[in-house]
Structure formats: C-alpha cells, structure tokens
Amino acid sequence: MKIGIPRALSYFDYFPIWKTFLDKLGFKTIISSPTTKDILDKGVSLCVDDACLPVKIFHGHVADLIGKVDTIFIPRLISVSPGEYICPKFIGLPEMVKNTISDLPPLLVFNYDLHKGIKYRGKAFNTLARQLGLSGGVVDRAYKEACSMQDKYERMLKSGQSPLNILEPKESWDESIKNKVTIGIIGHSYLLCDRYISMDLIKKIQNKGYNVKVPSNVPDKKIEENIMDIPKRMFLSYGKRMLGSGIEWLKCDEVDGIIFLSSFGCGIDSFIEELIRRYNAREYKLPYAVFSLDEHSGQAGFETRLEAFLDMMEWRNRIGHNFSAHG
Amino acid sequence: MVITFPHMGKMYIPVKALFDELGVDIIIPPKINKDTLDIGLKSCPEMACLPLKVTIGNYVESIKRGADTIVLSGSCGPCRFGYYGVIQKEILKDLGYDVDIVILDPPREGLRELIDRLKKISGNCSLYSGLAALSKAFKVSEGVEELLELVLKQRCKEINKGDTDDILSRFEEKVRKVKGANKILDCIQDAKGELSKVRLDSKKKTIKIGLVGEIYTIIEPFVNFDIEKKLGDMGVEVHREMSVDNWVKYHLFPDIKFRRKQKRTLKYAKDYLDLCIGGHAWETIAHALYYARKGMDGIIQIMPFGCMPEIVAESILPTLAKNENIPVMTLVVDELTGEAGYQTRLEAFVDLLQLERSRKENEFGEALSWN
C-alpha cells in the first residue's frame, strides 16, 4: 500500500519518525513534491479564505497526492509536549481537509496527543499501526528505529545545522566557512524549510556570506530557562520555541540581527512577534525586521527588503554605535 | 485598588453585582464605541484578533477614569486568548500605564496562585461572604440572560418598532447607577415587567435564525453591529445558545444537569468534530447541528478575522449545511468591516430564507420556475 505524506506543516519537524515508522512497517511512503506555484494555487482555491498560508499550502500538498497514493497520512497533532498545545488548526486539520477537498482517498489520521504525558507517544504510534492492521513485535521494532531516527535528526539540528542542509544533503553547504556575522531567523519550521514559500530566505542569506540560526538550533534547556521569565506559562509549543530562542538571541548577543518570518493570518506569530519586538525595542535594540508572507508575496519586494535590512546591519557594524543606523 | 475588566456584551452586569457585594471599587468601562477600537488599533499587533484590540481600548478608557487593576479570565490553550493578559500587559506598559493585570487561570494551572489572586481582588473578604457574593452574581447572570432571551423573542414581533430596545437601553442606564446585587435584580424585574406590556403581533410568522460562532463576537453588539437588533427589526426570530450565563454554568457553577445537557449537545456533533480544538469551534458545530434539527430556517456564524478555532468550524459548516439541508452564512468581522455591506448581506440572506420558506409552504407553487 502506498501512503502519501504531505510535505507541509509539521512534516519538517517530524518526518524522520513518521517516514521511518511507516517504511519499517513495510509500506511505501510517497512524499508530495516540494511546494510549487501550482500546489500553492491549488491550496488557496481549495481552502477557506480565512485560513493562514501554511494551512492553505497543506491543502495544496494533499491535493497533489490525490491519484498517486492509496491513502493520505494526515497528522492531528493535538499536543507534542505535556501541558502544551500547538495550534487549533493543527487539531482540526483532518476535519478541514475532509470537508474542503473532494475525491479524497481514505485518510490515515494520526492522532498524537501528549498533553497528559510523554508516555502516550508510543500509544499513538501503536494506534496508527493498528489502523493499518499491524500489531506486535514488528510495530515495536519499527517504533524504536523511528525514535532513534528522530533523535538523530534533532541532535543534528541542535548541533547548529540548518534544517535545509539535513533535508537536502546533496546541496552541501561548506561548514568550514565561519562567518563573523550571524543572523537569527525566527519562524515556524514549515515556513523556513519550505524553499518556495520562504523565497529561499535561508539560502539567500547564506549565499551572501552570513551564518544563519533558526529556532530549532537552540537547545531545549535554554528555551525552558528563557521562558521562565515570562509572566505566564507559554502553552503553545511552537510559540514557546520561537519566543525562547528569540529571547536567547537577544540576551546572549549570539546574533547580529533578527528576522522574524511570519505568515499572514498566523495567530501565534502575531503574539510572539509582538513580545519579541517590544522586548527588543525596550532593552536590546538589535536590528530587527519582520517579513510577512502570503500567497501574493512578490519576490522583488522581498529581496529589496532583505537587502535593505542587511545593509542597515552592515552599516551599524561598521560605523559602530553612531545614532543614525539605530533608528 | 480600583478594578476594571473588559466588556463582553452584558457581562458587566453580573460582574458589577459580584464586586458590589464584595465591597470592591470598580470602574465599568464606557460602552464600546469607535474611539475604544481606535485606541486598540493604534497599539495592538495588526494580526491579532479583534477582541484583543477592543479590550485594550476598554482598559485604557477605564485607566483614564482611575482604574489601577485589570481582572481578566485566562485559559491555557489551544486558543490564543490564554495569552491575552501577557500581551496586553506589555502593550499597556509601553503606552505608559503601569497597571496590575490579574489573570484568573483555571485551577489546574496552580490552585494556590488562583486563590491568592482571588483574595487580592476580593479585598480579602472571608470565604463565606465571597461565596455569598458569588451566588448572588450567578443569580444576576441568570436574570440578565432571561431578560435578553425575552428581548430576542419579542423584538421580531413588536408592533411599535423600537419598544423593546427602548426598555433594554433604559435598563442598562439604570443598572450602571444602582449599587448591590439586590437592586440590580430589582432592575431586571422592572424591565421584565415593562417588556411584558409591549404590544406584540403574536400571529406574525417569523423566520428563525440560529447564531453560532465565537462567543465574544456573538455577544458583544459593537463588534457584530448589533446583529440581534438588525435581524429582529427585519422580523427574524434570533436564537442564541451561546451566552455568558451558559458559559458560567458550564465552567464555574456546579450545575451538573446543565453540564450533562451541554456534553450531550457536544457529543451530538461527533460525526463532524469530536474533540475540543479550542475556543468555541466545537460548540459552533454542535449548536449548528442542534439548530438544524430543531427546524431553524438558517444559521449565521460570526467570528473575528483570523480566529484560529472558528476557521476549522468554518471549513466544516458547508458539509453540515449540505447534509442537513440548511443555509449557513459565515460573517467575519474585523476593524475594517463596513456596516452597509454587512447589512446588505444580512438582508440578502433573510430574503433567501423567506423565499425558501414560501417555496416550502408552496405559496408560489410552480410560478417560480427558476427554483
């Protein structure tokens, strides 16, 4: 049986565990092709208008898989960490897909809820296997291998590699170049790793000779520490990671500038961006820019803004602490 | 300490009753108007949902009148409402207002903290007087809801247009001036008495519309352009399951019977959605189904722009509409919504429902061949 996995949303965070698990169980996994204009347009036309860009793209990827596979894997990530949630739209994703796309093959809905504890992770995968008619030792072995694959991926990320380098190892990026200037890009992994929709932001910045850091490079311990200072527990996992890494970069002087990559209509971004911007403006005063993406974003305007931002940063580094570049 | 709180429809009445009974000074924010929204628009993140912007306006207007503590209910996900308090504190700080924001999170986030916070805002009253005040506030909340339901039922049938709303606005003016739960209850009784004298056309056939959606946009007349009144004036009987009173009963008050009923209603929707995804999306679907089976003519969903849970509900509703054969319209409101366009859409929707109704009753028979 061929199982299709849409290359969107949480795919970029969890594909090692999903793909390995399904592969080891003996299924053929097919991943939808990288986002193209066609996929985006399809998603936009299928999905409700008010949804955010990443969810629209997810719809496009699901549509892309129709006809190529026997069943489509739709993750329903309710919670990936105890006591936390992700986003209401992630929880309602299977319903959104079911009710807006017609002619769907059967869906393989993967319920994943660790809200009550980490021990439910194994159970979630067991249930997934049972849906596919498998149980017993095969499943345990597949689960173990999948977990170690996921750990490996996360270790690579924590060691400072850009997720794009891991995802697309062919286009290797020379690790030996150690640039002086580092830019931190805050954003959801599904924006940063999608080269079409993020207009290849990571590569663009790397090609101009800068180091890039993304939130998934920041160790969990640091995130937890930084979050403690916030008056209320951050209960959204992605939000927590972005906020925690933002504060980390502001505090530790690790980066020379911060770019916040946000998508139009993202509810979490609107709050996290506001907090980071206000903290930065009040105390740290690092160069900071917000790039907002939607289905109409133009490449030229995006590039101009990026160049302007980098120029500003360069001026500031060169001229030192003269007032002009500090705004 | 002078306490203030955000507006949400008529919620200020039970809240006022509660603090009056506790003997705590409060300032009720002025009725939401364009200026309130403008304050929020200037200072809030653009992509944030509408309630955040309006409530910031409420706070600033109250602070200017002397409030120094803001009380806000909280939650811990998945809806971003749970983080309102934190964002709003930062915004107010940058605006130069250093006020205390007390967020009342559910007990599982820390019972000790909740008790401390409750003690702080209740002026350290005894447990007994606290509970007594609370039970009176519950009564007021129930009374207000009964009154509002009566208004909903009567408005569409009144002979002199505007009678019901006159009574309602007189009641609101009076209630702001009196002090104490008992006096508020008296006001409610008076208003009910007046309402019963309004002349009604009891034979009038009305179109029935059920309102579903996000609680704030359904309840707060400023953000939904007083949809209840607009529809009522068109002769539509509006049904609204979502209310402050029901919310209180479900979340705060140990009303087991009501909880069971509510859970049953939610389970009802299991073919479409069978888990809580935050906000009121589950209720939206469940209530829509309930209205459809109860024989309503149509359903209107209202949500603020960018509301994460309601977007999921919005994608499910078309299927529900098809399966249950009931027209559903979604209205998305934000600071840029124009009243005229909104009115036109409502009128068109009601016209369609009327046409459908007459087609069903076969008044036109085969004359309307395009149907």
Determine whether the interchain pair B278/A88 forms a contact, defined as Cβ–Cβ distance below 8 Å.
yes
Q: Which residues of A touch B49 (CB under 8 A)?
A: 267
Distance from CA of B46 to the nearest CA of A (A): 7
A264 touching B (Cβ < 8 Å): yes
Which chain A residue has its CA at the smallest distance from B333's CA?
A: A50
Which domains are present in chain B? Answer: 3-124 (3.40.50), 206-371 (3.40.50.11900)
Answer whether A84 touches B (CB < 8 Å): yes
**Alpha helices by DSSP H, chain B:** 12-22, 34-43, 50-64, 84-95, 111-121, 127-155, 163-177, 181-196, 215-219, 227-233, 244-251, 256-268, 281-293, 308-324, 339-360
Q: How high is the pLDDT of residue A229?
A: 84
Q: For residue range B310-327, list pLDDT tens digits in order.
A: 999 999 999 999 999 999
- Does the pLDDT at position B27 exceed 50? yes
Confidence of residue B363 (pLDDT cuts 50, 70, 90): low
Given a cut of 50, is residue B371 above it in pLDDT? Answer: no
> How far, in Å, CA of A230 to CA of B225, rounded?
36
CA distances from B52 to A9, B72, B84, B137, B224 (A): 27, 12, 7, 25, 15
Looking at the complex, does the CB of residue A275 fall below 8 Å from at least one CB of chain B?
A: yes
CA distance readout (Å), B266 to A76, A77, B109, B296: 20, 21, 25, 18
Q: What is the pLDDT of residues B210-233, one digit of tens each?
A: 999 999 999 999 999 999 999 999
- Note the pLDDT of residue A46: 94
* Residues whose CB falls within 8 Å of the CB of residue A279, separated by 6 or more in sequence, listed in order: A246, A247, A250
β-strand pairing of B100-104 with B69-73:
parallel
**Distance of residue B298 Cα from the nearest chain A Cα, in angstroms:** 20
- Distant-in-sequence, close-in-space partners of A32: CB < 8 Å, separation ≥ 6: A4, A5, A6, A7, A8, A39, A61, A62, A64, A65
What the block records as the tokens of B37 is 């929204």
Which chain B residues are Cβ-neighbours of A100 within 8 angstroms?
315, 318
Query: Per residue of chain A (327 residues), what is the pLDDT tens digit?
Result: 899 999 999 999 999 999 999 999 999 999 999 999 999 999 999 999 889 999 999 999 999 999 999 999 999 999 999 988 888 899 999 999 999 999 999 999 999 999 999 899 999 999 999 999 998 899 999 999 999 999 999 998 888 777 777 777 655 455 545 567 889 999 999 999 898 999 989 888 988 888 889 998 999 999 999 998 888 888 899 999 999 999 999 998 889 899 999 998 888 899 999 999 999 999 988 999 999 998 887 889 999 999 999 998 888 877 655 555 444
SS3 letters across A182-195: EEEEECCHHHHCCC
- ipTM of this predicted complex? 0.88
Q: Are strands A2-5 and A71-79 parallel, antiparallel or unpaired?
A: parallel
Contact B32, B54 (CB under 8 A): yes
Using CA atoms of A22, A26, A32, A34 in order, give the dihedral in degrees to the nearest 10.
80
pLDDT in tens, B42-82: 999 888 889 999 999 999 999 999 999 999 988 877 888 88
**Which residues on chain B are in Cβ contact (under 8 Å) with A85?**
77-78, 278
- Strands (E) located in A107-181: 107-113
Q: For position A297, what pLDDT does the model report?
A: 79
The beta-carbon neighbor of B306 closest among A50, A230, A262 is: A50
Q: Search chain A and give the residue with CA nearest B105.
A: A232
Q: Lowest-confidence range among A189-203, B107-121, B128-142?
A: B107-121
- The predicted pLDDT at position B214 comes to 92
pLDDT digits (tens, 9 = 90+) for B233-248: 999 999 998 888 888 8
Q: Which domains, from first to last, does chain A contain?
A: 2-158 (3.40.50), 163-326 (3.40.50)
- Candidates B273, B308, B316; nearest CB to A87: B308
Pairing state of beta strands B3-4 and A182-186?
unpaired
For residue A152, what are the CA distances in angstroms to B87, B220, B280?
36, 51, 39
CB atoms within 10 A of CB A39: 26
CA-nearest of B4, B2, B22, B31 to B172 is B31
pLDDT at B3 over 80: yes
Is A180 an 8 Å CB contact of chain B?
no
Of the candidates B256, B261, B29, B10, the residue with the CA atom closest to the CA atom of residue B142: B10
| Percent of chain B scoring above 70 in pLDDT | 97
Nearest beta carbon to residue A235 from set B76, B277, B318: B76
Query: Does residue B315 belong to the interface with chain A, where contact is any CB pair within 8 Å?
Result: yes
